[in-house]
Amino acid sequence: MAGFRGALAVERKPDGSPVTEADRAVERELRARIEAARPEDGLVGEEYGSEGGGERRWFLDPIDGTKNFVRGIPVFATLIALEVEGRIQVGVVSAPALGQRWWAVRGGGAHASGRPLRVSAVNSLEQAQLAYDSVPGFAVRGLEERFLGLARRCARSRGFGDFWSHVLVAEGCVEIAVEPEVSPWDLAPLLVIVEEAGGRFTDLEGRPRIDGGSAVASNGLLHDQVLEALRHPC
């Protein structure tokens, strides 16, 4: 928060995405704390890559929504997840500018600021709200027309993007969140939060994984319809 809406030097990664010293500083702090408490665990982070291995791995995204962060938009968060034997068991999403935190433990439910989370019971696309990242991302994957066709079928669509779309699914505020281009650290805590809230979380192929390069979160009732709409021309 010390760098939010302050004078920040913004650099560009090889893929063109922005990074700031705040991103790097947060990840360094997280790594130091985890290494001190759990020295045998592996680490996977957006800014400093992977190290270690074994049955336990931590996934770290120091600032999910860096583009928002550098533009003074308060929708950004730190994402932390713990994977044990190949399955995400714990997820935390902390959004300091919003004053909110979401978390889940496998088998223990999902929560936000002390409230239990539950996905909505909407069972019709025509009544559903759709959240997404950006339309150009779908065009890169050749899915622009299919995505627009899905959006037209839904009652409402909004480009919340990043973690925000998925936690809104977990809270029951929207029914569907779709991202066509993402990395494992973008998704790791979101998967367990959505699932523990009663929803479903997969890639565009319908696989419940964080390394598929895409993400679809839903209340579960509409998931197959969403996957079908994005697989075939509308």
pLDDT over 90 (residue 201)? yes
From 82, 116, 150, the end of a domain falls on 116
Same domain, 155 and 59: no
Residue 82 and residue 106 in one domain: yes
Return the DSSP state at 74. Answer: S
The rounded distance, in Å, linking the Cα atoms of 164 and 160 is: 6
Owning domain of residue 54: 10-116
Q: What is the CATH number of the domain that holds 83?
A: 3.30.540.10
- Per-residue pLDDT tens over the stretch 125-165: 999 999 998 888 899 889 999 999 999 999 999 998 899 99
pLDDT, mean of residues 75-91? 97
pLDDT at 9 over 90: no
Residue 234 scores a pLDDT above 80: no
- At 232, the pLDDT band (50, 70, 90 cuts) reads low
Whether residue 78 is found in the same domain as residue 150? no
Q: Are residues 99 and 141 in the same domain?
A: no
- pLDDT attached to residue 14: 87
Assess whether pLDDT exceeds 70 at residue 180: yes
At 163, list the tokens: 């973690």
Count CB-CB contacts under 10 A for residue 47: 18
pLDDT at 15: 83
Together in a domain, 137 and 217: yes
| Same domain for 149 and 72 | no
Residue-level pLDDT at 57 = 97
Assess if residue 140 is contained within a domain. Answer: yes
Bigger pLDDT: 233 vs 168: 168
The reply to whether 143 and 96 lie within a common domain is no
Whether residues 129 and 176 share a domain: the answer is yes
Residue 155 resides in a domain:
yes
Tell me which residue of 140, 110, 103, 126 sits closest to 214, measured CA to CA: 140
Q: How far is CA 55 from the centre of its chain?
A: 23
Last residue of a domain, one of 74, 96, 116: 116
State the CB neighbour count (10 A cutoff) for residue 214.
Answer: 20
Same-domain check for residues 84 and 143? no
Query: Which of 116, 149, 169 is the last residue before a domain boundary?
Result: 116
Q: How many domains does the chain have?
A: 2
Identify whether residues 94 and 23 lie together within a single domain.
yes
Residue 143 lies in a domain: yes
Same domain, yes or no: 29 and 66:
yes
Same domain for 109 and 139?
no
Angle formed at CA 176 by CA 88 and CA 160, multiple of 5 degrees:
90
pLDDT greater than 60 at residue 233: no
pTM, two decimal places: 0.95
Per-residue confidence (pLDDT) for residue 16, from 0 to 100: 83
Residue 219 lies in a domain: yes
